[in-house]
Structure 1
Amino acid sequence: MPERKSYHHGNLRQALVEATAALIEEQGPQAFTLTEAARRAGVSAAAPYRHFKGRDDLLEEVARQGFVEFAVRLETAFDGGRPRPLSAFLRMGQAYLDFASDRPGYYMAMFESGISVAGNAQLATASGRAQGVLIAGAEALAARLPPESRPPSRMVANHIWALSHGVVELFSRGKPGCRSPVGPSEMLESGAIIYLRGLGLITD
């Protein structure tokens, strides 16, 4: 069990977030309790209420922090669309898969916990930032087309997001896709290329 020094150093809020992310990774987003999170953080069962209204409030903070890191990873991968919009766009797909693999507890809190993103302004902002990177990528891909021929950038971003999420779900946590002869990176990249080519966003 972690020592209580996190609390004494004023880091209780973050200690609870990290403990909750670990519990979600182990048990799923529906199974953890505030009492377990407090125990994992090394504090009393009453201590979480000094920072969070309840279980859902803590879960939303885990998801918010996840979206912030997720957005940073996408921004870094996209790198302003350099050297080419397509290669930059495809790097974001790999960054999506890497985040889901590296930070499963946060990923599950973000996408599998049933929380309402729209009901929390800070959470909605963080989620919107991540989506905004994908939208920027779609806009960069469409820039060479005449305006009247460009597909809606938000639609493209949402479709690629859904495709990425589907690949994660297919290959994660012992699901059948784990036995596929095609790896997740290859599956996502080939699916994205087929989709983008179908929209006329790439021709090579």
Structure 2
Amino acid sequence: MAQAQRIPELPPKRGYHHGSLREALLEAARQLVAERGPQGFTLTEAARRAGVSASAPYRHFRDREEVLAELARRGFGRFAERLRQAGAGARDATEALYRMGRAYLAFAREEPGYYTAMFTFQPLGQSLGQPSGQPLGQPPGTEEQDSGGAFEELTRVVAALLPAGASNPRLVSLQVWALSHGVAMLDRAGMPSTGSATPPAEAVLEKGVTALLRRM
């Protein structure tokens, strides 16, 4: 009886390993948000850019809002680390605050996908680690979101600059953050034009923060 021929094994199908599909989809979504804004992409487009089927994203994400939520969470984590690194090694709190301001603007320029998701998806109070329903200016609870680290780092530096008995450092930090965000958004929009006599965004932010702290 002739010996049966052994059927050769087929090579494993190429594709994403477990977990890497999720990362590929998040990266595709980050690029799309940077290019088109948070409302300018669908999971189908993210799947197409990641090179997978239209149904593949639903193995990891319920909908596009869940993708945006994860982008916001990761963005705030990276953002907090940027601020910490910027303030580390500064001679004093003033230098640390100015370094953090420059890092803030740099992050907004270099990471538009994360930055847009950060300030679009989450309510600002939650983004700063503030529990829902709790007034700004009060210490957050123990279950802070990852995004609270950036605000806590800013508050620590601002508190070191304020005299004893001055305004609540968390409230002042929120004002500094609002000013930083406004300058960053104008800078991203190219306003004012580079040919104008207006100083660069970094100088505008530093002058604004200096004036704010002096009034405190």
TM-score (norm 2): 0.80
Alignment partner, residue 202 of structure 1: none
- Provide runs of 4+ in structure 1 moved above 6 Å: none
Deviates further, 44-53 or 169-178: 169-178
| Residue identity in the other structure for 1:152 | N
Q: Which amino acid aligns with 2:166?
A: R
Aligned to 1:101: 109
Aligned length: 189
| 8 Å Cα contact 2:68/2:121 also seen in 1 | no
**Once structures 1 and 2 are overlaid, which stretch shifts more, 159-168 or 177-186?**
177-186
Q: What RMSD, in angstroms, separates the aligned Cα atoms of the two structures?
A: 2.4
Can you list the C-alpha shifts for 1:106-137, whole angstroms capped at 9, x where unaligned?
A: 100111x244464999x961221111111111
Aligned partner letter, 2:112: P
Counterparts in 2 of 1:14 and 1:5: CA distance versus 1, 3 Å: farther
Q: Which runs of 5+ in 1 are unaligned?
A: 200-204
Q: 2:183: which partner in 1? A: 167
- The 5-angstrom pairing of residues 1-204 of structure 1 reads 7-8=16-17, 10-79=19-88, 82-111=90-119, 113-116=120-123, 118=126, 125-142=145-162, 145-146=163-164, 149-176=165-192, 178-180=194-196, 181-199=198-216
Q: Measure the CA separation in 1 of the matches of 2:187 and 2:14.
A: 38
TM-score (norm 1): 0.84
Distance 1:175 1:28, change over 3 A: farther
Distance 1:68 1:15 in 2: 19
Specify the code of the residue in structure 1 equivalent to 2:106: D
Q: Which runs of 5+ in 2 are unaligned?
A: 1-12, 132-142
Higher helix share: 1
